[in-house]
Amino acid sequence: MEGVEEKRLAKWVRLCGVAEAPAPGEVAEAEAEGISVCIANIGGELSAIDNWCPHRRGPLGQGWIERDCVVCPWHGWSFHAKTGVAVSPEGERVEAFPLRVEGADVLIDIE
């Protein structure tokens, strides 16, 4: 319809408590509404990406941090913690979820 802008609706859900979030330099697995998420802490800043590596579904939340990336524990594919774009190999990616902290809760937008 003319003049009607299609707006993306956000759906913020609780991922975990701030106290349960990983410490700087660490990653963890968490779940929100049945979605398995890798939550990373880089320099005190939290971010969230899909937990399942597109290679063979390795659990990224059991991997580790290298610079700004989460490294898959199975074969070493590496994804930028904020964008989900793979640094190695190029051309791959996982979904990245907008994240915000509200009070004692870590929320992500799963829409």
What is the binding site for ligand FES (CB under 6 A)? 53, 55-56, 58, 72, 74-77
Of 81 and 107, the one with the shorter C-beta distance to ligand FES is: 81
Of 11 and 75, the one with the shorter C-beta distance to ligand FES is: 75
**Dist. CA 54–CA 68, nearest whole Å:** 19
Q: Cβ distance 89 to 77 under 8 Å?
A: yes
**Dist. CA 16–CA 89, nearest whole Å:** 30
Least separation in angstroms between CB 57 and ligand FES: 6
Of 58 and 61, the one with the shorter C-beta distance to ligand FES is: 58
Least separation in angstroms between CB 70 and ligand FES: 10
**Dist. CA 48–CA 61, nearest whole Å:** 10
Least separation in angstroms between CB 93 and ligand FES: 13
Beta bridge partners, 93, equal 85
Q: Cβ distance 86 to 96 under 8 Å?
A: no
Of 71 and 107, the one with the shorter C-beta distance to ligand FES is: 71
